[in-house]
């Protein structure tokens, strides 16, 4: 994966959490994740298609998810309810949508409607030929991770972020 794809997600999660919840996000060191299981218990997943394809997952420990959802929705919500899933889904939607808007080179990228999985030890299938980049995030609500499994589709004529930065 082009490392320049990572920055938009960092900027985006900080922007989304700060604007919608006044919640500061401190970013740890991004790393390649080899374990196919999501890092934590609650996954908000969104697909990308077009010039960039793959998936983006926000992975929360249950306690963090409950704290973040309570801030975002304005009231505590029970995990396992449709409203809880809706709030997590909207967060991954905003983080991914905001990030794709920062991809350089005029890429045309569409995002899917989000899916949300709640429960320990669940598995999210992802592209095997694309590395998963995990970006650890720390907030006052607890830790979470952004897991990015995306690649630029060859032959689209779009400029990679690195090429754009070098231009």
Q: Please pick, from the candidates 28, 74, 76, 119, the single residue that binds other proteins as defined by CB under 8 A.
A: 74
Shortest Å distance, C-beta 130 to other proteins: 23
- Interaction between residue 87 and other proteins (CB under 8 A): yes
What dihedral angle (degrees, nearest 10) is formed by the CA atoms of 69, 125, 7, 87? Answer: -20
For tokens 């231009």, name the residue.
167
DSSP for residue 3: G
- Interaction between residue 93 and other proteins (CB under 8 A): yes
Q: Using the minimum distance from each CB to other proteins, give the nearer residue, 31 or 82.
A: 82
- Interaction between residue 90 and other proteins (CB under 8 A): yes
Q: How many residues bind other proteins (CB under 8 A)?
A: 24
Residue 128: closest CA among 58, 55, 59, 60:
55
Q: How far apart are CA 67 and CA 140, in angstroms?
A: 9
> Exposed (0-12), middle (13-18) or buried (19+): which is 146, by Cβ within 10 Å?
buried
Q: Please pick, from the candidates 37, 106, 120, 123, the single residue that binds other proteins as defined by CB under 8 A.
A: 106
Binding window for other proteins (CB under 8 A); candidates: 26-34, 58-66, 93-101, 143-151: 93-101
- Interaction between residue 96 and other proteins (CB under 8 A): yes
Instruction: Convert residues 10-39 into a mask of x (bound to other proteins by CB under 8 A) and - (unbound).
Output: -----xx--xx-------------------
Phi-psi region of 121 (alpha: psi -120 to 50; beta: other; left: phi over 0): left
Q: How far is residue 56 CA from its own chain's centroid?
A: 4
- Interaction between residue 157 and other proteins (CB under 8 A): no
| Cβ-contact 96, 46 below 8 angstroms | yes
Footprint on this chain of other proteins (rule: CB under 8 A)? 15-16, 19-20, 72-74, 82-83, 86-87, 89-90, 93-94, 96-98, 100-101, 106, 108, 111, 113
């Amino acid at each position: 994966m082009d490392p320049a794809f990572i920055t938009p997600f960092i900027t985006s999660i900080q922007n989304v959490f700060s604007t919608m919840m006044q919640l500061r996000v401190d970013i740890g060191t991004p790393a390649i994740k080899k374990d196919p299981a999501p890092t934590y218990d609650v996954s908000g997943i969104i697909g990308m298609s077009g010039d960039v394809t793959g998936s983006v997952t926000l992975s929360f420990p249950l306690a963090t998810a409950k704290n973040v959802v309570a801030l975002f929705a304005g009231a505590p919500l029970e995990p396992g309810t449709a409203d809880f899933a809706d709030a997590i889904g909207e967060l991954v939607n905003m983080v991914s949508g905001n990030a794709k808007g920062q991809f350089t080179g005029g890429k045309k990228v569409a995002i899917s409607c989000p899916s949300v999985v709640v429960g320990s030890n669940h598995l999210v299938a992802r592209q095997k030929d694309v590395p998963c980049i995990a970006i650890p995030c720390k907030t006052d609500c607890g830790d979470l991770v952004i897991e990015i499994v995306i690649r630029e589709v060859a032959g689209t004529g779009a400029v990679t972020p690195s090429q754009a930065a070098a231009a």
